């Protein structure tokens, strides 16, 4: 198939490379000329494991090209729209300006019979409302994306499910389904479930999935506060309730909460859209989840303040982790970056490290001091704060690191370290939402 992907960010670049890897002839289009220049040179402008190799493979095979000109996508049979849908400044709603611009730009270049497929996350009703922008030259369907940054290549090649949201007209819906089936032939052959629905359902599937995950994280964080107040241990609790197959252990990691370019803005946009429709229950549920989540950041700062005996000004704090999650350099609405920034504003001397996000932080927050090795951040620190659960930090040797700082105070805001091992190496270890001195698993 001849495919175009409009918007080559975290979603689009991966989608383009993945589609080329399964034999399609793909062109990626983006309005950012620097992004296009990097991709053309075979460089991924962000950190995503496995993407650079896939990109190089597709380009060498002649199946993957990039352009800043949408006109270069004119011969595509299927156009995927993967542009950003950020939170609107000053409101909770999604800003659909980029989707509108992409569809408008595409319109004069649509070949007869072309299909336009939205992949961006949008409020329910968007496809129906924006379809006229194509001027009747192509059908607009929605095929939401569920990839996780850090696992995006694998998630795109082997998704949990495919959801097609097609239009009301039966012949057009059938044709769109057949085209998407051809695009995703390898996934379908591998048995990936495919759900064909109306466009509204497809749009709602995506925001409902993200909202459910957000609720799960905020639920465990709310429970974590009760654990902290009573001496109970939230990680053991999560293990125990997670064994119930109806609940499951995933997304029950108590700590600093969620962030990034998706969950926060998606739950807000869902609440705003539901309110427009006169339905406020989901909005109030999600607003509470949002409030609990944002509160984690403040709680981490306060826990550190208490652990340091009250004062933050002038204290040297090693911050380990700045990305919103491990295996990504994405710092959009990153809880880690937000805590690091707050500490610096409160007068602490912050020395930060992240395995991949430092380059982005140096641009976004030039005032924050970043170093290239975790041990350099820890050296001489009054406290160490783990804010992103990178493998590199989980693998740190507490005994070796103890020599770097006489204070030996560590706040594990992601509850990702082995508390017993750190305490045994002489550290004052504290978790977020855990009692200061919990009874660790009594029987290993
Ligand atoms: N990042 C994720 O993990 C993820 C997962 C699932 C869904 N999504 C959704 O996918 C969409 C994109 O997210 P992202 O993280 O890739 O964003 P991003 O900001 O990384 O990428 C968006 C890209 O679109 C480009 N763009 C904007 N307007 C354009 C236009 N008119 N023509 C061509 N290119 C244009 C931008 O320059 C940018 O490179 C959002 O709706 C997001 O909610 C993201």
Task: Tell me which residue has its CA closest to atom 30 in ligand 1.
Answer: 102
Quote the pLDDT of residue 434.
76
State yes or no: pLDDT of 106 exceeds 90: yes
Average pLDDT over residues 214-231: 95
Residue 131 φ then ψ, to 5°? -50, -40
Instruction: Enumerate the domain spans of the chain.
Output: 2-192, 211-443
Is 140 near ligand 1, meaning CB less than 6 Å away? no
State yes or no: pLDDT of 438 exceeds 50: no
Q: Which of 11, 46, 143 to mutate to test the pocket of ligand 1 (most atoms within 8 A of CB)?
A: 11
Task: Tell me which residue has its CA closest to atom 21 in ligand 1.
Answer: 9
Is 133 near ligand 1, meaning CB less than 6 Å away? no
Band (439; pLDDT cuts 50, 70, 90): very low
Burial of 209 (0-12, 13-18, 19+ CB in 10 A): middle
pTM: 0.95
Is 398 near ligand 1, meaning CB less than 6 Å away? no
- Contacts by 94-100, CB closer than 8 A, 24 or more apart: 94/121, 94/122, 94/123, 94/265, 94/269, 94/272, 94/273, 96/122, 96/123, 96/126, 96/130, 98/7, 99/126, 99/130, 100/130, 100/133
The CA 98 to ligand 1 mean position distance, Å, reads: 9
Is 330 near ligand 1, meaning CB less than 6 Å away? no
pLDDT digits (tens, 9 = 90+) for 396-429: 999 999 999 999 999 999 999 999 999 999 999 9
pLDDT digits (tens, 9 = 90+) for 326-349: 999 999 999 999 999 999 999 999
Is 68 near ligand 1, meaning CB less than 6 Å away? no
Q: Which of 4, 5, 7, 160 to mutate to test the pocket of ligand 1 (most atoms within 8 A of CB)?
A: 7
How much is the mean pLDDT over the chain?
Answer: 96
State yes or no: pLDDT of 436 exceeds 70: no
The CA 318 to ligand 1 mean position distance, Å, reads: 32
Q: Which of 8, 227, 262, 370 is catalytic?
A: 262
Measured from the CA of 101, which atom of ligand 1 is nearest? 31
State yes or no: pLDDT of 437 exceeds 70: no
Distance CA 354, CA 374 (A): 8
Residue 429: strand pairing partners = 410
Task: Report the run of H or E that residue 28 belongs to, with start and end.
Answer: strand 25-29
Range 211-443 classified under CATH 3.40.50.150: no
pLDDT digits (tens, 9 = 90+) for 348-405: 999 999 999 999 999 999 999 999 999 999 999 999 999 999 999 999 999 999 999 9
Quote the pLDDT of residue 441.
43
Nearest to 413 by CA among 355, 331, 338: 338
Measured from the CA of 149, which atom of ligand 1 is nearest? 3
Average pLDDT over residues 183-197: 98
Range 2-192 classified under CATH 3.40.50.2300: no
Distance CA 285, CA 203 (A): 19
The CA 45 to ligand 1 mean position distance, Å, reads: 13
The CA 280 to ligand 1 mean position distance, Å, reads: 28
Quote the pLDDT of residue 44.
96
Q: Which of 4, 10, 120 to mutate to test the pocket of ligand 1 (most atoms within 8 A of CB)?
A: 10
Quote the pLDDT of residue 444.
40
Distance CA 285, CA 424 (A): 42
Is 87 near ligand 1, meaning CB less than 6 Å away? no
Quote the pLDDT of residue 435.
67
Please confirm, yes or no, whether 227 is among the known catalytic residues.
no
Distance CA 222, CA 295 (A): 10
Residues above pLDDT 70, as percent of the chain: 98
Nearest to 43 by CA among 56, 30, 32: 56
Burial of 293 (0-12, 13-18, 19+ CB in 10 A): buried
Q: In what order do the strands lie in the sheet with 162-166?
A: 64-67, 25-29, 2-6, 78-81, 115-118, 139-142, 162-166, 194-198
Do 2-192 and 211-443 show the same overall fold?
yes
The CA 9 to ligand 1 mean position distance, Å, reads: 5
Residue 350 φ then ψ, to 5°? -90, 130
Distance in angstroms between the alpha carbons of the first and the last residue of the chain: 54
Distance CA 435, CA 176 (A): 55
Is 64 near ligand 1, meaning CB less than 6 Å away? no
pLDDT digits (tens, 9 = 90+) for 224-270: 999 999 999 999 999 999 999 999 999 999 999 999 999 999 999 99
The CA 261 to ligand 1 mean position distance, Å, reads: 9
Q: Which of 67, 84, 126, 133 to mutate to test the pocket of ligand 1 (most atoms within 8 A of CB)?
A: 84
């Amino acid at each position: 198939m001849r495919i175009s992907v409009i918007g080559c960010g975290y979603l689009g670049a991966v989608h383009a490379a993945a589609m080329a890897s399964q034999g399609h002839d793909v062109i990626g289009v983006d309005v950012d000329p620097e992004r296009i220049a990097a991709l053309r040179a075979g460089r991924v402008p962000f950190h995503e494991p496995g993407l650079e190799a896939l990109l190089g493979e597709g380009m060498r095979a002649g199946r993957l090209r990039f352009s800043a000109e949408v006109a270069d996508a004119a011969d595509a049979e299927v156009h995927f729209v993967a542009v950003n849908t950020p939170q609107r400044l000053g409101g909770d709603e999604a800003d659909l300006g980029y989707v509108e611009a992409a569809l408008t730009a595409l319109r004069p270049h649509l070949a007869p019979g072309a299909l336009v497929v939205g992949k961006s996350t949008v409020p329910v009703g968007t496809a129906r409302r924006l379809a006229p922008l194509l001027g009747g030259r192509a059908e607009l369907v929605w095929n939401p994306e569920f990839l996780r940054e850090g696992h995006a290549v694998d998630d795109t090649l082997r998704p949990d499910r495919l959801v097609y949201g097609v239009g009301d007209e039966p012949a057009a819906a059938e044709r769109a389904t057949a085209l998407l089936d051809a695009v995703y032939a390898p996934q379908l052959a591998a048995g990936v479930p495919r759900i064909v629905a109306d466009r509204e359902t497809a749009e709602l599937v995506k925001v409902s999935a993200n909202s459910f995950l957000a609720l799960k994280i905020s639920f465990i964080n709310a429970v974590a506060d009760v654990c902290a107040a009573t001496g109970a241990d939230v990680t053991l609790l999560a293990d125990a309730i997670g064994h119930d197959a109806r609940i499951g252990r995933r997304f029950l990691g108590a700590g600093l909460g969620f962030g990034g370019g998706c969950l926060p803005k998606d739950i807000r946009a869902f609440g705003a859209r539901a309110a427009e429709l006169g339905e406020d229950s989901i909005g109030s549920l999600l607003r509470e989840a949002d409030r609990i989540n944002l509160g984690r950041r403040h709680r981490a700062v306060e826990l550190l303040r208490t652990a340091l005996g009250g004062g933050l000004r002038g204290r040297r704090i090693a911050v380990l982790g700045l990305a919103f999650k491990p295996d990504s350099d994405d710092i959009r609405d990153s809880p880690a970056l937000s805590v690091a920034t707050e500490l610096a504003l409160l007068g602490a001397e912050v020395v930060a490290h992240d395995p991949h996000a430092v380059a982005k932080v140096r641009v976004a927050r030039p005032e924050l001091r970043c170093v290239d090795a975790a041990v350099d951040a820890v050296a001489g620190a009054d406290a160490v704060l783990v804010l992103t659960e990178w493998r590199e930090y989980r693998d740190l040797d507490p005994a070796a690191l103890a020599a770097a700082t006489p204070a030996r105070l560590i706040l594990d805001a992601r509850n990702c370290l082995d508390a017993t091992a750190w305490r045994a190496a002489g550290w004052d270890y504290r978790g977020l939402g855990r009692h200061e001195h919990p009874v660790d698993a009594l029987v290993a």
